[in-house]
Amino acid sequence: MSEVLLSVEGVRKYFPVGGGWFAAREHVRAVDGVDLVIAPGETLGLVGESGCGKSTLGRVILRLIEADAGRIVFEGRDLRELGRTEMRNARRHAQIIFQDPYASLNPRMTIGEAIGEGPRVHGLLEGEALDARVAELLETVGLRPDHAGRYPHEFSGGQRQRVGIARALALEPSLIIADEPVSSLDVSIQAQILNLLLDLQERFGIAYLFISHDLRVVHHLCDRVAVMYLGRIVELAPSAELYDQTQHPYTEALLSAVPVPEPGGGRERIVLKGDVPSPIHPPSGCPFHPRCPRAEDRCSREEPALREVGAGHLSACHLAPF
């Protein structure tokens, strides 16, 4: 990859749980040593089961949650080393779209106020110039300029998510972290929002970290896909190759569960045994080995490294390539 917009190196985030005054505290290993790279204008998909750490990683990258370890290098600067003022300026270039399009909007602010808040706070625009920018953004995301005076409860879920996208665009970012932006929407509305995101990327050259549990959506939208399990990346590959030449048993199981509209057109269903292990006490060796249909003796003893098994294709499995 010739250019790098965002580089995440060995990032870790543990959340303390339990423990009293004299007892040692345990930790939920939400993000456990993640490495990722995103190029300008690229869409990297991040997928995995609920609770695997996807959303936490997105928030850690923007320092909405502080990491415990690692480097987050964005546009050549390590965000973890920036002071408050520098970090505030850096956030102009990296924005987020939240999963819930209603909870992410202040019900006491009009849509115009919500979209214009970023440019106003950063001292970029005010008065009529700000109003014109808000109107332009509303039209960009498929809403009318006269919607600016309305409140969030007056809009549908899809319209509210368009407002969230307009708010993310307001500061002209080079990176947007989209945290399951269509999971709470109807299927027909999902398609509209996804097509809008693609159109905006083509027009403005925005890079996305697209977090989702829906592998169909990720396949449609993303250039590369990273698969996350128990806070770790277990496979990363170009989108088409990940779907056609899977090199991790967990990814195989995820893909086998994707519904296919044609009868008999899907993969053979792989039903994983057992439950997801506790992120407080993850298994020794490969974290997936207790549920893996391919597991061997060494899988319970040796933790596999995320290594290249093909051109641009990484897998954390002792048995890859299959």
Q: How far apart are the C-alpha atoms of 319 and 211, rounded to whole Å?
A: 27
- pLDDT reported for residue 21: 66
86-110 b/e with 16+ CB inside 10 Å = b? eeeebbbebbbbbbbbeebbeeeeb
Q: How far apart are the C-alpha atoms of 220 and 43, rounded to whole Å?
A: 11
Enter the DSSP assignment of 117. H
- pLDDT reported for residue 105: 93
Q: What is the pLDDT of residues 282-312, one digit of tens each?
A: 999 999 999 999 999 999 999 999 999 999 9
Which tokens go with 258? 């994707």
User: Looking at residues 218-246, what average pLDDT do you find?
Assistant: 94
Tell me which CATH homologous superfamily contains domain 6-17+27-109+172-315: P-loop containing nucleotide triphosphate hydrolases (3.40.50.300)
Domain chopping of the chain, boundaries: 6-17+27-109+172-315
Q: What is the DSSP string of 24-68?
A: PPEEEEEEEEEEEEE-TT-EEEEE-STTSSHHHHHHHHTTSS--S
Confidence of residue 24 (pLDDT cuts 50, 70, 90): low
What is the model's pTM? Answer: 0.92
Do the strands 307-310 and 77-78 form a parallel or antiparallel pair, or are they unpaired?
unpaired
- pLDDT reported for residue 118: 93
Lowest mean per-residue pLDDT among 19-28, 261-270, 279-288? 261-270
Q: Rg of the Cα trace of the chain?
A: 21
Lowest mean per-residue pLDDT among 58-67, 133-142, 258-267? 258-267
Confidence of residue 270 (pLDDT cuts 50, 70, 90): confident
**Residue in 83, 84, 57, 92 with CA at minimum distance from that of residue 179:** 57
Whether omega for the bond prior to residue 145 falls within 30 degrees of 0, making it cis, is: no
- pLDDT reported for residue 261: 64
